[in-house]
Amino acid sequence: EVQLVESGGGLVKPGRSLRLSCTASGFTFGDYAMSWFRQAPGKGLEWVGFIRSKAYGGTTEYAASVKGRFTISRDDSKSIAYLQMNSLKTEDTAVYYCTRDGETGYFDLWGRGTLVTVSS
């Protein structure tokens, strides 16, 4: 089955770090870029960033709201994408989704999401 499963969410204090994982199955992970999105409680969708496939250099792009604090990486041997979140703020509280990115700009495969709550 083609799917993405996020993990690693939880409750964390402001200023702390957290790493999310996105485990892929059912497709050739290394052929795709991987993107992260988030959705604050009761709010709309926000793009967080993405990492290109190795074929396209494995480079990354980030939203201004997380640039310098969040880092996306990938381990193609394990079919996992990571979102390292540092210096977390209360406004980072959201459900975080990973998506398969066929370099098209739109997203046909989403994980179920993992909730990150930043609170003291």
Partner 1 sequence: AIRITQSPSSLSASTGDRVTITCRASQGISSYLAWYQQKPGKAPKLLIYAASTLQSGVPSRFSGSGSGTDFTLTISCLQSEDFATYYCQQYYSYPLAFGQGTKVEIK
- Which chain residues interact with partner 1 by CB under 8 A? 44-47, 61, 63-64, 97, 104-108, 110-113
User: 58 vs 63, which CB is nearer to partner 1?
Assistant: 63
- Closest by Cα among 87, 47, 82, 85 to 63: 47
Residues in the chain: 120
CA 14, 61, 34, 47 dihedral sign is positive
CA geometry: angle at 108 spanning 102 and 110, to 5°?
Answer: 105
User: 75 vs 108, which CB is nearer to partner 1?
Assistant: 108
| Shortest Å, Cβ 36 to partner 1 | 11
| Shortest Å, Cβ 78 to partner 1 | 22
User: 72 vs 111, which CB is nearer to partner 1?
Assistant: 111
User: 63 vs 76, which CB is nearer to partner 1?
Assistant: 63
One-character DSSP codes across 49-107: EEE--GGGTT-EEE-TTTTTTEEEEEETTTTEEEEEE-S--GGG-EEEEEEEE-SSSS-
| Shortest Å, Cβ 89 to partner 1 | 18
Place of tokens 């994408």: 81
| Shortest Å, Cβ 88 to partner 1 | 20
